[in-house]
Every structure is written in structure tokens, then in C-alpha cells.
């Protein structure tokens, strides 16, 4: 069972990248249940490093989502924090004219439908105590169009609206919902185009002339987890080196 002194957190997609950074940070203060989909070795490494519990879970599966919450209920007396981080990039970057319905369905199911309905299950649990915090990890792609990965952009734009909807629905009951929009973060998800991004950043793409790291996103989650933003329900945190700013 959960320690009385340590709050409970679920972090989805936590074996690598941003999710791993978040799980490492939260494990300092929380009992963390970290999900992963395919990389057992990476998940086991996270468990060894942090002591977090791990669970294989495909967020796009309704059965897996239900099993995740059931597993968490058996482990924790209550749920203090859900971090909706699990997501995937397009398998192949294709022009808008060539993108396929199969890719669209996969991205929407994993990046949007999965976290939206996992939040529904978690929210029902949190409402038993009228307390808790929920974080959606979206992307600058929620508003910045990339014509060679349209389905990713659409999924993240939808997830941004999901965060807003849940924030409005749950705030009156004491549950705070936030959206974090990472920018260009150094993870294996962008490894194929990392050099191109480095060149663009050096050329002025970002006001802060560096690529983000997973710890930058984890620090934003830390502020939420510690209650520092509890009077800012529905807030969008741009962790993007200033990309969201506009100038002439």
C-alpha cells in the first residue's frame, strides 16, 4: 500500500524521454507507478534507478486503461497526480497529400483518445476525495503546423482541448488540471531530425538558444506536484525556450 507520507502519482509513457525525466523527478517525493508500452529494458532500468513501480500498458487500449487504474487502486489509497505523457510520433513523415488514414487513426487513438479517457477514469477516482492534480503533456505542435506530420499536430491540438475541458469540469471539485506544452526537447523521438533542429535553433528559431531537455519539463511538473500553481487551474505552461512568443 501507499506510504502515508508519500503522495501517489501515475506517469504514463515513462520508460524513456520526457516521461522518464518526469518519473525520476517525481520519485524523489512520490510513490510513482510508471507505465511503458514496449521497452521492457528501459522500464526495468527506471525501476532500478528510482524504485518506481512499472506496468506495461498501451494507453490506446480501453482494456489496458481500465487495468492500469485497477492496478493503481490496489496499490494506492488515493491518486494525487496523473501525468498524461504517453504518446507517439508519426511512423513516417509524409506530406499532407500523402498521409494515410491508418496513421491518423493510430496517432489519434494513442495521443488523444487514450489520455482523454484515462483521465475520465482517474477523475472518477479523484472525485471520491475531491482532490488531485492532472497534467497533460501536449506539444507546441498543438498550434504550430508541420505539413509532414499532420496527424501528430491534430492529435496534440485535440489533447490541448481535452486538457481545457477537464480543467473546467474538475476545478469546482478541487481537482486541478494543467497543460504543459514542450517545445523541441532532446529525446530519442527527435533523434532523426536533431541535427536539423540544432541548426535552426542556432539560426534563431528559439529566443533561448538551446534545445530543451527532459528535466525542463520535469521541473514544470514538479511545480504543479508541489502545489505551487494550485490557483492557476487550466494554465498552459510553455516549456519551449520562448518559441510561443511572437515578434516582428
How many Å apart are CA 180 and CA 192, to the nearest integer?
Answer: 24
The pLDDT assigned to 244 comes to: 97
The pLDDT assigned to 4 comes to: 59
Handedness of CA 22, 189, 85, 231 (dihedral sign): positive
The pLDDT assigned to 3 comes to: 47
In this predicted model, what pLDDT tens digit does every residue of 69-100 receive, in sequence order?
999 999 999 999 999 999 999 999 999 999 99
Q: 175 near 127, Cβ under 8 Å?
A: yes
Task: Please report whether residue 120 resides in a domain.
Answer: yes
In this predicted model, what pLDDT tens digit does every residue of 163-183 receive, in sequence order?
999 999 999 999 999 999 999
Task: Please report whether residue 175 resides in a domain.
Answer: yes
Task: Please report whether residue 72 resides in a domain.
Answer: yes
In this predicted model, what pLDDT tens digit does every residue of 24-56 receive, in sequence order?
999 999 999 999 998 899 999 999 999 999 999
Does residue 219 have a pLDDT over 60? Answer: yes
pTM summary value: 0.95
The pLDDT assigned to 107 comes to: 98
According to DSSP H, which parts of 6-148 are helical?
17-26, 40-50, 62-75, 101-108, 114-126
Task: Please report whether residue 248 resides in a domain.
Answer: no
> What's the mean pLDDT in 115-144?
98
3-state helix, strand, coil in the chain (%, to 5): 45, 15, 40
Query: What CATH number does the domain containing 170 carry?
Result: 3.40.50.720
Task: Please report whether residue 2 resides in a domain.
Answer: no
Residue 230 lies in domain: 8-239
Task: Please report whether residue 59 resides in a domain.
Answer: yes
C-alpha cell at position 24: 525520476
Query: Looking at the annotation, which residues are catalytic?
Result: 152
For the chain, the domain total comes to 1
> What's the mean pLDDT in 210-229?
98
The candidate with the shortest Cα–Cα distance to 93, out of 138, 52, 145, 147, is 147
In this predicted model, what pLDDT tens digit does every residue of 1-31 receive, in sequence order?
444 579 999 999 999 999 999 999 999 999 9
In this predicted model, what pLDDT tens digit does every residue of 176-207 receive, in sequence order?
999 999 999 999 888 888 899 999 999 999 99
Give me the chain's average pLDDT, please. Answer: 96
The pLDDT assigned to 191 comes to: 81
Task: Please report whether residue 179 resides in a domain.
Answer: yes
pLDDT > 70: percent of the chain: 98
The pLDDT assigned to 1 comes to: 47
Task: Please report whether residue 1 resides in a domain.
Answer: no
Amino acid at each position: 500500500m501507499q506510504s502515508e507520507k508519500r503522495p501517489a502519482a501515475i506517469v504514463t509513457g515513462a520508460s524513456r524521454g520526457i516521461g522518464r525525466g518526469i518519473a525520476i523527478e517525481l520519485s524523489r517525493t512520490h510513490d510513482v507507478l510508471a507505465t511503458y508500452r514496449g521497452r521492457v529494458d528501459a522500464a526495468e532500468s527506471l525501476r532500478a534507478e528510482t524504485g518506481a513501480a512499472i506496468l506495461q500498458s498501451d494507453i490506446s487500449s480501453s482494456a489496458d486503461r481500465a487495468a492500469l487504474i485497477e492496478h493503481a487502486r490496489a496499490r494506492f489509497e488515493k491518486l494525487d497526480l496523473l501525468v498524461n505523457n504517453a504518446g507517439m510520433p508519426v511512423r513516417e513523415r509524409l506530406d499532407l497529400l500523402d498521409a494515410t488514414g491508418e496513421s491518423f487513426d493510430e496517432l489519434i487513438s494513442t495521443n488523444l483518445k487514450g489520455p482523454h479517457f484515462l483521465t475520465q477514469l482517474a477523475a472518477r477516482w479523484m472525485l471520491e476525495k475531491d482532490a488531485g492534480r492532472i497534467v497533460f503533456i501536449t506539444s507546441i505542435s498543438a498550434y504550430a503546423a508541420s505539413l509532414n506530420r499532420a496527424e501528430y499536430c491534430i492529435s496534440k491540438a485535440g489533447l490541448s482541448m481535452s486538457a481545457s475541458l477537464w480543467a473546467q469540469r474538475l476545478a469546482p471539485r478541487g481537482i486541478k488540471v494543467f497543460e504543459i506544452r514542450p517545445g523541441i526537447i532532446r529525446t530519442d523521438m527527435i533523434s532523426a531530425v536533431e541535427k536539423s533542429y540544432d541548426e535552426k535553433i542556432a539560426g534563431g528559431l528559439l529566443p533561448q538558444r538551446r534545445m530543451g531537455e527532459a528535466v525542463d519539463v520535469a521541473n514544470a511538473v514538479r511545480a504543479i506536484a508541489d502545489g505551487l500553481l494550485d490557483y492557476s487551474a487550466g494554465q498552459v505552461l510553455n516549456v519551449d525556450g520562448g518559441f510561443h512568443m511572437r515578434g516582428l
